[in-house]
Amino acid sequence: MYLVRLIYASQISPEFKAEDIENILEVAQRDNKKRFITGMLCFNRKYFLQCLEGSRAVVNETYQLICRDKRHQNVVILDYCQIDRREFADWSMGYVPTSRMKEQLILTYSPKNEFLPFELSGEGAHGMMLALRNQVEKS
């Protein structure tokens, strides 16, 4: 089975609690490693932007779990494509809080200098996540 990349945006639901982000990351890092999923999660206490890479079946299953997760609402796919290699191969689930995002970097890929993932194109979301990965790896 070939590799795919799925990038989605979602909004926190009323059921979301501040401590849920740690739980989401812990479970994702553990389960993704077992299922050979790699990717990155960006979060600003209101919105999620996530990239998942792996086999089509496993990425689709994972996305369906996210869609059913009561902590997410308004889940929208921004990009879904077949890929020949992983961009986040070293990360079972990298995490970038928006406190690490510089306004100029956001403005490069977005209509505004604030983190509003629903306003990103799929290509813009992918580009921003690659730039963030590079920024994190340099630090």
pLDDT 10s digits, 31-84:
889 999 999 999 988 999 999 999 999 999 999 999 999 999 999 999 999 999
Query: Can you give the residue range of the structural domain that contains 128?
Result: 3-138
Full DSSP string of 85-97: S-SSTT-SSEEEE
pTM for the model: 0.93
H/E stretch holding 72 reads strand 72-83
Q: How many domains does the chain have?
A: 1
Q: What angle do CA 44, 46, 48 make, to 5 degrees?
A: 70
Supply the CATH number for residue 67's domain: 3.30.70.100
Exposure string for 43-53, b = 16+ CB within 10 A, e = fewer: bbeebbbbbbb
Summarised one tens digit per residue, pLDDT across range 83-117 is 999 999 888 778 887 777 888 888 899 988 889 99
Neighbour tally for 80: CB within 10 Å = 16
